A and B are shown apart, each in its own frame.
Chain A
């Protein structure tokens, strides 16, 4: 990084406007060949618009460039015509997007989609392009590349599709790669693989990289240089070690303190409610109390007890409607939740964690096993009693926007469980209860008459929590309830969950893929893989003494928000296998071994 090196890309005083709102304001940064610049920020910080502006793809969305230049190889991209840009896009600057599931065109084969870019820019013939496409698929370590060329995107997993995207982006050996949240939608073990591949290929090809992300762990693993954005402005930039070790701007400091760090709870027996660092009058201020969350009542009988739960979905049927292939989503899963306890179900996609939650909430029927609430099994309950269970158990979903009716006021949505279960009959009293609930979750009661679109993501999740509390439940199932939120909001909601638990003795079934969040807030943890529990024990047992291979693999794949930590280059290979099997060929059910009191691991089959 000598001073004589001319930067590959230099963004100078860039401002981007959509209509009258300025989403990027006076942004400057440079990228050198072979280096990675991470652009970090929360939603609405303007980081994605920055990347789309560099490609001049923001034009199609109606962006106007109010000020500044984007110099790439001394050429101002903002002055280039769309025709000139077309010869740069895909050839000189390539881009990888966030959603691998929707980034590939569903109606064309993988081979055709990679060939297209080679035939366009490199003027290769079809057969030469196919050969090169296969080489590219090998390069991103996809097995059976020859066959894969003739497959369609829907036949590939998310991780495989993202590798295809990388192969496609690197087809013409671009000088600059822009990666916009490339691993956000992927499972951690797959994320670790993709990050490794990207790092290796960057070294091999010597390209510059702009890495857009909100995940400080990924930043620490990937970046040389960091640009922190906040509300469209750059608030801080510097070498990655410096940003993490000595953040200057109050916002950066708040952001870093909100990031849940794996291992931060080592030595603690119970989860802890931690004070929060928030921006107050432009200064990071620590608010709230620190409290040991010793709320679980293990001496009482379990509130919920799940025994040998079995859920399978029919995937394929023959002509007469009889199932021939089934997905074994949940296989002989057993666990208890005690009053006041948080049990976390962790696992990657397809592990069956959400199916378990939905079965407990009676949104999904089981094929075997028993669920008992307060000692009474669902199967021994009458229909009316089972209906009442929906009052005792409440569900919070991942997407707070999709789970609120857009045409009803939030007050209506919160009052709905009260009215459905006939808990309060007097209209005025219902109103008072709604107001109380809103205030309890940290929103003013005056917002009851507003509609969901008037709230931010974090506020909407608060509304969903208020709604869940409305029927005064004993158990709340939180299904990835924090996953769609920015870290600073996430930290607030975690504290809200903990406060409500301390106050009301609530039990939580906390379903998540995020190991760091789970470590922060759960009493006990069950690690799921392909519908079976691999390891279950207290938080301390599972995190400090992970005893199953899969748990260790999962933990080692989590990016650590510390650039000085040794980079995890151990190759994690392999996909999560497909859980769909022919009827009669069901997977073996693993038995469990208690290695310590309360600490179980699955024995290999």
Chain B
């Protein structure tokens, strides 16, 4: 297990270097931040632009810029934002917890809903409960998340006035974004849990557990669940990673001060330091999650742990 983790860690370092290299390079193809900053701001001479580039450091060769960035990465100093001059680390420090918390809550809601519902659907395969769960899951899958978010805002914030429409202030502001994400995720996850459970229930050891005289709850929640969780862990891990990256839309709708909003604004402003930092931090998170998934595997499945 230790050797396995070391191997994974080495892989992770390569992944991070590859991602940051591609991102830093690609981002510089999108245009000159000096020009963007003064778009429509009167006449600029070539000299003015050169001065701005020197101030931003974008006049240096790409690899020098990239190495500076890597240096900063080690010391957690991502430089200053091109727009406003705020410390990028500070910006991330504010945005990351907001995004993580929202993602965690959404994931938690979704797992807490999809496991019992998925098991119920699997055990009553083909019966009314199964049909109902599958139909609702299909409806959930068909909602575009921004549409669902807008509808929730219209109903609960504008018509009923129960919840704040946007921003992050107090627990009430978490409800709508978390429910939006949670519903979409649950719709997929219920189907996954159902499929995995159906497969597990076909196993001989489930028949053996029943032949022992165990109650159906013991059979399902003790014998089947841990086995059925093994494929789910991978998927939930990937999903969480995807959630961190894909949360932009939801953050825009609810004006959530998270990584998505930060990245969105940075793209518009060609704010290289911010964008590089956001993407690097997110990819580090995803690599970290995958590492956690591997550890979780070992905990759940002795075949991996004792290897």
Which chain B residues numbered 181 to 226 have a C-beta less than 8 Å away from chain A? 203-205, 207-216, 223, 226
B213 touches A103 (CB 8 A): no
A97 at the interface (CB under 8 A from B): yes
Q: Is the CB of A86 within 8 A of B208?
A: no
B42 in the interface (beta carbon within 8 A): no
Is there contact, CB below 8 Å, between B227 and A90? no
> Cα distance A90–B227 when bound, in Å?
22
B205 and A104 contact, CB distance less than 8 A: yes
A to B CB contacts below 8 Å, 11 in the list: A60-B210, A86-B215, A97-B204, A102-B205, A107-B302, A116-B212, A121-B213, A152-B302, A154-B302, A155-B306, A168-B212
- Is A117 a contact of B212 with CB atoms below 8 Å? yes
Is B205's CB under 8 angstroms from A88's CB? no
6 more CB-based (< 8 A) A-B contacts, given A60-B210, A105-B227, A109-B302: A88-B213, A89-B213, A97-B207, A105-B223, A155-B306, A319-B3
Q: Is the CB of A86 within 8 A of B213?
A: yes
Within 8 A of B (CB), among A71-119: 82, 85-91, 94-95, 97, 99, 102-109, 116-117
Contact of A107 among B6, B214, B215, B300 (CB under 8 A): B300
Nearest opposing residue in chain B for A91, CB measure: B213
**8 A-B pairs with the lowest CB-CB distances in the bound complex, closest first:** A90-B213, A89-B213, A90-B212, A102-B204, A152-B302, A105-B205, A95-B211, A86-B213
Residues from chain A with a CB closer than 8 A to the CB of B204 are 97, 99, 102-103
**Does A165 have its Cβ within 8 Å of any Cβ on chain B?**
yes
A57 CB-CB contact with B under 8 Å: yes
CA distance A106 to B302 in the complex (A): 7
Decide yes or no: A319 and B6 within 8 Å by CB, A106-B302, A117-B212, A152-B306 being known contacts: yes
Instruction: With CB as the reference atom, state the residue of chain B lying closest to A105.
Output: B205
Q: B213, A117: Cβ atoms under 8 Å? A: yes
Q: Of all chain A residues, which has the CB nearest B205?
A: A105
Q: Considering the complex, which residues of chain B in the window 1-15 have a beta carbon less than 8 Å from any beta carbon of chain A?
A: 3, 6-7
Residues in B with CB closer than 8 Å to A89 are 210-213
Q: Are A106 and B214 in contact (CB under 8 A)?
A: no
- Alpha-carbon gap, A120 to B212, bound state (A): 9
A55 on interface, CB distance cutoff 8 Å: yes
Q: How many residues of A contact B (CB 8 A)?
A: 34
Interface check B265, CB cutoff 8 A: no
Contacts of B223 in A (CB 8 A): 105, 108
A-B CB contacts (within 8 Å), total count: 76
Closest residue of chain A to B302 (Cβ to Cβ) is A152
The answer for the CA separation of A165 and B209 in the assembled complex, in Å, is 11
| CB neighbours of A97 from chain B (8 A) | 204, 207-208, 211
Across-interface contacts of A107 in B (CB, < 8 A): 226-227, 300-302
Give the residues from 282 to 307 in chain B that come closer than 8 angstroms, CB to CB, to chain A.
300-303, 306
Instruction: For A106, list chain B residues within 8 Å (CB).
Output: 205, 227, 301-303
Count of chain B residues near A, Cβ 8 A: 24
> Could you tell me which B residues sit within 8 Å of A by CB distance?
3, 6-7, 203-205, 207-216, 223, 226-227, 300-303, 306
User: In the complex, which residues of chain A have a beta carbon less than 8 angstroms from the beta carbon of B209?
Assistant: 105
Residue in A closest to B301 when the chains form the complex, CB atoms: A107
Instruction: Specify which of A82, A105, A117, A120 lies most central, judged by the most chain B CB atoms within 10 Å of its CB.
Output: A105
Closest to B123 in A: A60
Complex CA distance for A97 and B210, rounded to whole angstroms: 12
User: In the assembly, what is the distance between CA of A117 and CA of B212, in Å?
Assistant: 6
The answer to whether B226 touches A116, judged by C-beta atoms less than 8 angstroms apart, is: no
Instruction: For the complex, give the distance between the alpha carbons of A319 and B227 in Å.
Output: 29
- In the assembled complex, the Cα of A86 lies from the Cα of B300 at a distance in Å of 28
Highest count of chain A CB atoms <10 Å: which of B205, B227, B301? B205
Interface hits, A156-195 → B, CB 8 Å: 165, 168
- In the complex, residue of chain A having the shortest beta-carbon distance to the beta carbon of B211: A95
Find chain A residues with CB under 8 A from B226 CB: 107
Docked-complex contact A165 and B208, CB < 8 angstroms: yes
Would you give the shortest CB distance from A61 to chain B, in whole angstroms?
Answer: 9
Give A95 to B210 CA distance when docked, in angstroms: 10
Chain A: minimal CB distance from B1 (Å): 13
CA–CA, A115 to B7, complex, Å? 38
Contact A57 B211 (CB under 8 A): yes
What residue of chain A has the Cβ atom nearest to residue B4's Cβ?
A319
Q: How far is B204's CA from A99's CA once the two chains are assembled, in angstroms?
A: 8
CB distance from B125 to the nearest CB of A (A): 10
| A90 CA / B306 CA spacing, docked (Å) | 30
Complex-state Cα separation, A105 to B200, whole angstroms: 11
How far apart are A585's CB and chain B's nearest CB, in angstroms? Answer: 20
Whether the pair B214, A86 counts as a contact (CB closer than 8 A) is yes
Knowing A116-B214, A120-B212, the reply to whether A57 touches B207 (Cβ < 8 A) is yes
Q: Which residues of B contact A117 (CB under 8 A)?
A: 212-213
Q: Across the interface, which residues of B come within 8 angstroms of A121, CB to CB?
A: 213
Residues from chain A with Cβ under 8 Å of B205 in the complex? 102-106
Distance in Å: Cβ of A302 to nearest Cβ of chain B: 43
Q: How far is the CA of A277 from the CA of B108 in the complex (A)?
A: 65
With A107-B302, A165-B208 as given contacts, are A87 and B227 in contact (CB-CB < 8 Å)? no
Give chain A nearest CB distance to B214 CB in angstroms.
7
> Is A120 a contact partner of B213 (Cβ separation < 8 A)?
yes
Q: How far is the CB of B167 from chain A (nearest CB, A)?
A: 45
Using Cβ atoms and an 8 Å threshold, which residues of chain B touch A168? 208, 212
A88 to B208, CA, bound (A): 14
Closest to B126 in A: A62
Residues of chain B within 8 A (CB-CB) of A318 are 3
Residues of A within 8 A of B211 (CB): 55, 57, 89-90, 94-95, 97
CB distance from B122 to the nearest CB of A (A): 13
A117 CA / B223 CA spacing, docked (Å) = 13
When distances are taken between beta carbons in the complex, the residues of chain A under 8 Å from B208 are: 95, 97, 103-105, 165, 168
- Which of chain A's residues has its CB closest to B208's CB? A103
Most chain-A Cβ atoms within 10 A of its Cβ — which of B208, B209, B226, B302? Answer: B208
